[in-house]
A and B are shown apart, each in its own frame.
Chain A
Amino acid sequence: MEPLSRVTPATVDVLAVLSEAAGECWGLQVIKQSGRPAGSVYPILERLESIGWLSSYWETDDARSGPRRRYYELTEGGASAASETIAAFARKSRVVVARPVTASAVTA
């Protein structure tokens, strides 16, 4: 499993959806729950899958005819890495938000 080279807010949102789903989750579900456009989510899913954080498989429900859904699931290593990434991003965001307040406090 490779590390994530670039972490964007959209990546964190996708990881959060996949972590909360705690199981199978198909593409449109990720798009809807993350609130991100499909044009952002599809590349993120592909990137996460290519570095081994995600695994994907076809649905096995025979009741639905036609093209199958593709389900995504965090791998064992991907799940822990996703938690760390989300936490690190949250810490970083808090620091960025807090910085102006600290600066003004020093000035005062």
Chain B
Amino acid sequence: MISAGEFAVRAATTLLPQEARERYREQWLGELRDAPEAGMRASDVALGSLAFAATYRRPLPSLSRLTPERVVVRSRLAAGLALSTALVALTRYADLVSSAGFQDSPTGDLAMFVGSTLAVGSLWLTAYVILAPIISIALVTMTRGTPARVRIAVWLLVVASFSPAAQAAIDFNAGNVNIFYSEGGLAYLAAIAMAIPAVILLRREFRSSTAPVAPDATSHLRVLSVLSGLAVLLVATVCINDAATIWAARTPLAVSSDSDTAAYMFMAASEARAANMVFFTFVVWCLLCAAVGAAVSIGGLRSKTRRRTTLRLAAAVTFVAITYAAVVDFLHLMSASRESALLTETLMLLSRFTVIAIVMIAIGGMNLWRRSSARVAEPIVTST
């Protein structure tokens, strides 16, 4: 049976990096044995070993060899992952995915939310919004030399990405049914309040002229954005499929009396107003995303050509979002029947997820449309 001191020493050594364990284990066990001989208490060695292990900060060899360029790449990757997750969260995708946008039912609780998202088929998106924050935190935590602004921004964005779960928990406890106008919505406001300073921090960090930029520093973010955009498009496809299924199984409206018709019209008008407000929120969100995408993209760019391209892309995204929103909203207001309303809801879903995908691509939209003029021309060698 080992003593308490030996147990503490062995516990302390397990906290150390692999390459330092054997050395300190033997050293401390030797000092533990010889403590009485030296007129010391064994507990001094035990406590000392624990304190040493808790404060040991020497970087692992694999991490200490990171070049500044690699640190920049990892910082950008972490920022891109955290930012895209936070943006997905701010789209209230949980509401849309879990209820497919057609039911005024709360997401219930976290288990119900996860279960329903999996049931709808958005497994990839759910996996993404769970894994991306974990990876981004791991990147900024394990990469020594990550700028403090990036660390703070990533943490803020990760916390913001939990807003759907927070909203679900709040609404579930409050027993809310209408998920768009509830106390749970405060979770999204808080998320926006955290996302904005995070974006400002990232912009300042990546716009800094002193920050080293690797030649391929943007490629990871671009690939990530494209992949995440494709994932969101996949979810949009699933949602449209669900919408088609629901439409195919729709129940025809019953022929109603005059009074019932009036009541129905009143209800439909209320729903239209509610949807209008939701859509207004969506447009504001689109503008925010476009601004965020432009800011991050500009921050990561050095070339004037790429910067102009990104600005144009962000402007195009904003224009498309607003135009599409206006058209779909108009169609929605003009809907005379529930079936046509269902169709416009489908278009709304499509527009939302399309814009999400485009914005995600815009965030990392660096070198997407590389111009031939931007390439370095090969020197012409002439022989005389």
Q: List the B residue with the shortest CB-CB distance to A71.
A: B27
Q: List the B residue with the shortest CB-CB distance to A29.
A: B38
Bound-state Cα–Cα, A42 to B31, Å: 12
Contacts of A3 in B (CB 8 A): none
Interface SS of chain B: helix, strand, loop or mixed?
helix
Q: Check if B56 is an interface residue, CB within 8 A of chain A.
A: yes
Q: Check if B186 is an interface residue, CB within 8 A of chain A.
A: no
Q: Check if B40 is an interface residue, CB within 8 A of chain A.
A: yes
Count of A-B contacts judged by CB separation below 8 Å: 67
Question: Which among B27, B35, B49 has the greatest number of chain A C-beta atoms within 10 A?
Answer: B27
Q: Check if A100 is an interface residue, CB within 8 A of chain B.
A: no
Residues from 45 to 82 in B contacting A, C-beta threshold 8 Å: 45, 47-52, 55-56, 58
Stretch at the interface among A11-19, A31-39, A74-82, A85-93: A31-39
Known contacts A50-B58, A67-B33; is A31 also within 8 Å of B48 by CB?
yes
Name the contact of B31 in the complex, choosing from A26, A40, A50 (C-beta under 8 A): A26
The reply to whether A28 and B31 form a contact with Cβ atoms under 8 Å apart is: yes
Bound-state Cα–Cα, A27 to B28, Å: 9
Question: Which among B23, B25, B30, B55 has the greatest number of chain A C-beta atoms within 10 A?
Answer: B30
Contacts of B379 in A (CB 8 A): none
Name the contact of A67 in the complex, choosing from B30, B38, B47, B49 (C-beta under 8 A): B30
Known contacts A39-B51, A39-B52; is A31 also within 8 Å of B30 by CB?
no
- Which A residues form the contact surface with B (CB < 8 A)? 26-29, 31-32, 37-43, 46, 50, 58, 66-70
User: Across chains A and B, which 7 residue pairs bring their CB atoms closest together, nearest first?
Assistant: A38-B48, A39-B51, A67-B30, A42-B52, A67-B29, A70-B27, A28-B38
- Which B residues form the contact surface with A (CB < 8 A)? 23, 25-27, 29-31, 33-35, 38-40, 44-45, 47-52, 55-56, 58
15 contacts between A and B (CB under 8 A): A29-B38, A31-B48, A37-B44, A38-B45, A39-B48, A42-B52, A43-B51, A43-B52, A46-B56, A50-B58, A66-B30, A67-B33, A68-B27, A69-B27, A70-B23
